[in-house]
Amino acid sequence: MLLAGISATLIAFSTYATAFNINSNANYASYYGQNSAKNQKSLGEYCQDAIEDVIVLAFMQGFPNILLNFANACETTFEGSTLLNCPNMAKDIQYCQSQGKAVILSMGGASGAYGFTNDSEAVSFADTMWNTFFKGSSDQRPFGDAVLDGVDLDIEGGGGIGYPAFINQLRSHYTSDPSKSYYITSAPQCPFPDAYLGPTLDSAWFDMVYVQFYNNYCGLNAYPSSFNFGDWDNWAKTKSVNKDVKIFIGAPGSPAAASSGYVDGATLKTIYNDIRSKYSSLGGIMTWDISQSRTSGIATEIRAALGAGEAGKGVDIENKNSEVSSAESTTSTTSSSSNLEDANEPTSSAPYNDINELVQVTSDTSESTIDSSEPTNDTSGDCPVDGASCAGSQQGCNGQQFALCANGKWYLSLCAPGTICTLNNGGVVCDWPNGRSTNTCGVTGG
């Protein structure tokens, strides 16, 4: 709840997340495009920081006659056509990719008319997809020159015909461009096997599967009794064509994002850590959708909970983190702000053109008390250092970085450019300095 103050007032930066890595168990995927919180920003704004690793664009809600819908993110069509023409999203996709994120287009969704009647239609639609969104060519490409990183199947209706043929054909196009990695992902609901995609999941290649652990008896709210990640892990290892397929814990981004299944950030962290200790198929966390997760603040908590992750399976996360931390702490033993910025170099180069607008937009939905209460200094004056030990759910400030305690270790992240970290009502927030010191240290909570 306190973290909501942080992300509602700024875009927070993670020290660790740098780029999507398919082999990591600490990736964060979020859906963008359906504006479910009614305050969806441009894709580029969400890509300025290092919170998410994978952006899944939702949705292509009609196919094989393409019907795209990204709510307020794209509302223009090609002349004489119903096909969306989205030059702004095109630029943003390329920007997100330059920030190390994978951008994937989701086909399907809860509403819409879609589906194939036979395999040949599915195969020919894979050719259309390659030409329209990937390295092929077409007169009308909604995202112009941008080349997507993959396709997601969120099939919640329309039958299950043709998907294996579609995937096989698209993957054969993928291999024609060895210059980059392309992915096939899916978002089944948690009851196993999935009603629509069950047979497809068993017979076609998937790189990542974001299981929707919500709106069902097996959701996050049923942890641990009926929460069924184990069924999906078992599928990954015994039935999946790709035995290294990564399973994500799909979570609602706020209480309003799903009818059931929402758990708060602390609970999600506990579940994630438990799953991480038990199941090597874990790929990370997915949220529906980014407008919800950024507004509620859970996106920041998820990034902190994921931490650096590990580039491989079965590595003890604590060891991995201490490696990272010891390297970091050598540069952060002095706490001058220039050192801190050096330690976070990747984020400081991000363009930040619309900071006023960001603050304006987000302040509408903020429930925090930043403006109405004076910051109070912590009397201990402790200066949290990345990787050093901390207790419980302590939070803290180190100048322009805010610190979250996770698994007994501090994770420091940069406040948005121009803002400082202050202790506030037993938590921390990043806020405009308004004459305050830009170098305050302190620890609060427990």
State the catalytic residues.
156
Note the Cα 157 to chain centre separation in Å.
Answer: 25
Tell me the window of 68-76, 113-121, 263-271, 404-412 that interacts with ligand NAG (CB under 6 A).
Answer: 113-121
Q: In angstroms, give the least distance from the CB of 113 to ligand NAG.
A: 14
Closer residue to ligand NAG, CB minimum distance, 117 or 373: 117
Binding mask 127-146 for ligand NAG (x = CB under 6 A): --------------------
Closer residue to ligand NAG, CB minimum distance, 125 or 130: 125
Residues 297-326 that bind ligand NAG (CB under 6 A): none
If one asks whether residue 65 binds ligand NAG (CB under 6 A), the answer comes out as: no
- CB contact set of 66 (below 8 Å; sequence gap of 6+): 60, 83, 128, 132
Tell me the window of 112-120, 207-215, 353-361, 400-408 that interacts with ligand NAG (CB under 6 A).
Answer: 112-120
If one asks whether residue 440 binds ligand NAG (CB under 6 A), the answer comes out as: yes
131-149: b (≥16 Cβ within 10 Å) or e: bbbbebeeeebbbeebbbb
Q: In angstroms, give the least distance from the CB of 124 to ligand NAG.
A: 9
If one asks whether residue 377 binds ligand NAG (CB under 6 A), the answer comes out as: yes
Residues 225-284 that bind ligand NAG (CB under 6 A): none
Residues in the interface with ligand NAG (CB under 6 A) total: 7
If one asks whether residue 437 binds ligand NAG (CB under 6 A), the answer comes out as: yes
Q: In angstroms, give the least distance from the CB of 64 to ligand NAG.
A: 8
Q: In angstroms, give the least distance from the CB of 115 to ligand NAG.
A: 10
Closer residue to ligand NAG, CB minimum distance, 118 or 380: 118
Residues 177-196 that bind ligand NAG (CB under 6 A): none
If one asks whether residue 121 binds ligand NAG (CB under 6 A), the answer comes out as: yes
Closer residue to ligand NAG, CB minimum distance, 42 or 377: 377
Q: In angstroms, give the least distance from the CB of 377 to ligand NAG.
A: 3
Q: In angstroms, give the least distance from the CB of 423 to ligand NAG.
A: 9
C-alpha separations of 40 from 35, 44, 70, 138, 296 in Å:
5, 11, 10, 29, 13
From candidates 81, 120, 226, 407, binder to ligand NAG by CB under 6 A = 120
Tell me the window of 52-60, 67-75, 114-122, 278-286 that interacts with ligand NAG (CB under 6 A).
Answer: 114-122
If one asks whether residue 118 binds ligand NAG (CB under 6 A), the answer comes out as: yes
Q: In angstroms, give the least distance from the CB of 399 to ligand NAG.
A: 10
From candidates 72, 111, 117, 363, binder to ligand NAG by CB under 6 A = 117
Q: Cα(26)–Cα(406) distance, rounded to whole angstroms?
A: 14
Q: Which residues are near ligand NAG by CB under 6 A? A: 117-118, 120-121, 377, 437, 440
